[in-house]
C-alpha cells in the first residue's frame, strides 16, 4: 500500500520499468494492479495506459517522449489526465512506434 | 502617471523573464543529468544480463507481491509553488521487525543458565568480556534491522547478484530523486510562463490606456491651437484697420 505519500508510475520499455522497479517504486495494489506499464509491440495505446494513468494515488508519471506523443493521440482521456498529474519525460530505449 | 505604470510593468516583466530563463536552463541541465543516469542504468543492466542470462533480468523475475520503498510528498512553499520530494519507506518495516524481535530476545533466559560457581578475580579482562556480552544482544537487532530482504527488489533476481545490477539500482535511485526535482521545476516553469502572459496583458492594457489618454490630450491641444490660430488671424485684420 502507498502509506503516507503518493507513488511514482512508469510507462516505458522493459529495461526502463525494470530499472525503476529496482529503485523501489513498484506496487501491486489490492486488486493486483501495478503502478507501471511495460510497453510492447502489442500494447494497446487506447486502453493500455488506463490501469496506470487512472490510479488515484499517483503523483508523478514518467513516460518517454515518443510514447507520450503516441498516447496523446490515442488515449481517450489524455487531456483530463494531463491536467490532473505531473508528467515527466524520460528517454525511450527501443523505438517501437 | 501612465508612463510610470508602463515602466513598472516592464521592469516586472523583465524580472519574470530572467527568472523563466534561469528555470529553463536549470530544467535542461537536470534533464540532461537524468538522461545520462538512465543510460548508465541501462548499460549496467545490459552487463548484468550478459553475465546472468537474458531471462534472468526481465519482466519474468518481477515479484508477485510488491510494496513501494519510495513515495512522493507534495509540499506547498511560501511562494505558493508545489515542491515534490521523495521519501524512503524502509525504516518502518525495519523498526517493526526490530520491535517484534526484541520480546523474543527478552523472553530468552537471562538469569538462568550456567552459573559461575568459582567467581573469577576481577581483572582488566572482565569489563571487556562484560562489554562483549553486552554487545552480542545489541549486534543482533542491528543485523536484523537491516531492510527486509523481501523488500529489496534486487533479491527478485537472485541472492547473489552481480555488481553491475547493484550499480543499475543505484543509478535508478538517483533518477527517481531527480524526477521529483524535475517535476517541481516543471510546475515552476509553467507558473512563471503564466505570470509572464498575465504581465504582458497588463502591460498592453497600461499602454493602451496611456495612448488613449495621450490621444485625448492631443485632441485638446489641437483644438486649443486651432482656436489660437483663429484668434491670431483676427488680430492682424484689426491692426490693419
Question: How many other CB atoms are found less than 10 A from the CB of residue B107?
Answer: 8
Give the separation between CA B135 and CA B143, rounded to whole angstroms.
12
Q: Where are the domains of chain A?
A: 8-74
| Buried/exposed A17-52: b ≥16 CB within 10 Å, e otherwise | bbbbbbbbbbbbeeeeebbbbbbeeebeeeebbbeb
The structural domains of chain B, ordered by start, are 1-56+66-88+155-211 (1.10.287.3240)
Q: How many CA atoms lie within 13 A of B61 on its CB side?
A: 23
Cell of A7: 507513488
Name the pTM for this structure: 0.68
> Is B84 in contact with A8 (Cβ distance < 8 A)?
no
Give the separation between CA B88 and CA B73, rounded to whole angstroms.
11
Using a CB–CB cutoff of 8 Å, tell me whether B69 touches chain A. Answer: yes
pLDDT tens by residue, chain B, 241 residues: 567 878 888 898 999 999 999 999 999 999 899 989 999 999 999 999 999 888 888 888 888 888 888 888 888 777 777 778 888 776 544 444 444 444 445 555 555 556 666 666 555 444 444 444 444 443 334 344 444 545 788 888 888 889 999 999 999 999 999 988 888 898 899 899 999 999 999 888 888 888 888 777 777 777 777 777 777 654 444 444 4
Q: By the 8 A CB rule, do A34 and A86 touch?
A: no
E-strand ranges in chain B read 70-76, 82-88
Report the residue from A6, A24, A26 with minimal CB separation from B72.
A6
Taking contacts as CB-CB distances below 8 angstroms, the residues of chain A near B178 are none
Provide the CATH topology of domain A8-74. Answer: Rossmann fold (3.40.50)
> Is B182 in contact with A88 (Cβ distance < 8 A)?
yes
Nearest CA to CA, how far is B38 from chain A (Å)?
8
Report the residue from A2, A22, A60 with minimal CB separation from B172.
A22
Residues 6+ apart with CB under 8 A from A65: A89, A91, A92
> Is B67 in contact with A1 (Cβ distance < 8 A)?
yes
Q: By the 8 A CB rule, do B16 and B210 touch?
A: no
Q: By the 8 A CB rule, do B120 and B126 touch?
A: yes
Using a CB–CB cutoff of 8 Å, tell me whether B153 touches chain A. Answer: yes
Amino acid at each position: 500500500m502507498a502509506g503516507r505519500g503518493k507513488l511514482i508510475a512508469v510507462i516505458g520499455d522493459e529495461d526502463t520499468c525494470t530499472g525503476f522497479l529496482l529503485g523501489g517504486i513498484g506496487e501491486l495494489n489490492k486488486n493486483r494492479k501495478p503502478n507501471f506499464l511495460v510497453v510492447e509491440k502489442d500494447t494497446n495505446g487506447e486502453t493500455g495506459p488506463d490501469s496506470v494513468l487512472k490510479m488515484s494515488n499517483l503523483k508523478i508519471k514518467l513516460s518517454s517522449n515518443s510514447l507520450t506523443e503516441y498516447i496523446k493521440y490515442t488515449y481517450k482521456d489524455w487531456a483530463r489526465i494531463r491536467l490532473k498529474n505531473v508528467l515527466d519525460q524520460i528517454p525511450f530505449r527501443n523505438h517501437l512506434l | 502617471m501612465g508612463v510610470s505604470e508602463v515602466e513598472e510593468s516592464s521592469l516586472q516583466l523583465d524580472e519574470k523573464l530572467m527568472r523563466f530563463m534561469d528555470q529553463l536552463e536549470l530544467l535542461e541541465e537536470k534533464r540532461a543529468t537524468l538522461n545520462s543516469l538512465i543510460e548508465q542504468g541501462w548499460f549496467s543492466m545490459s552487463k548484468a544480463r550478459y553475465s546472468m542470462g537474458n531471462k534472468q533480468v526481465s519482466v519474468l523475475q518481477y515479484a508477485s507481491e510488491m510494496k513501494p520503498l519510495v513515495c512522493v510528498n507534495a509540499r506547498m512553499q511560501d511562494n505558493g509553488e508545489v515542491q515534490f520530494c521523495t521519501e524512503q519507506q524502509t525504516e518502518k518495516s525495519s523498526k517493526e521487525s526490530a520491535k517484534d524481535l526484541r520480546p523474543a530476545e527478552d523472553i530468552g533466559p537471562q538469569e538462568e543458565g550456567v552459573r559461575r560457581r568459582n567467581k573469577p578475580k576481577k581483572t582488566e579482562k572482565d569489563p571487556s568480556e562484560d562489554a562483549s556480552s553486552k554487545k552480542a544482544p545489541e549486534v543482533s537487532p542491528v543485523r536484523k534491522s537491516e531492510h527486509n530482504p523481501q523488500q529489496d527488489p534486487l533479491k527478485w533476481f537472485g541472492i547473489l547478484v552481480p555488481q553491475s545490477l547493484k550499480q543499475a539500482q543505484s543509478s535508478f535511485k538517483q533518477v527517481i530523486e531527480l524526477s521529483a526535482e524535475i517535476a517541481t521545476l516543471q510546475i515552476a516553469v509553467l507558473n512563471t510562463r503564466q505570470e509572464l502572459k498575465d504581465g504582458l496583458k497588463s502591460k498592453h492594457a497600461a499602454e493602451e490606456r496611456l495612448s488613449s489618454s495621450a490621444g485625448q490630450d492631443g485632441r485638446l491641444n489641437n483644438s486649443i491651437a486651432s482656436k489660437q490660430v483663429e484668434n491670431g488671424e483676427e488680430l492682424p485684420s484689426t491692426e490693419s484697420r
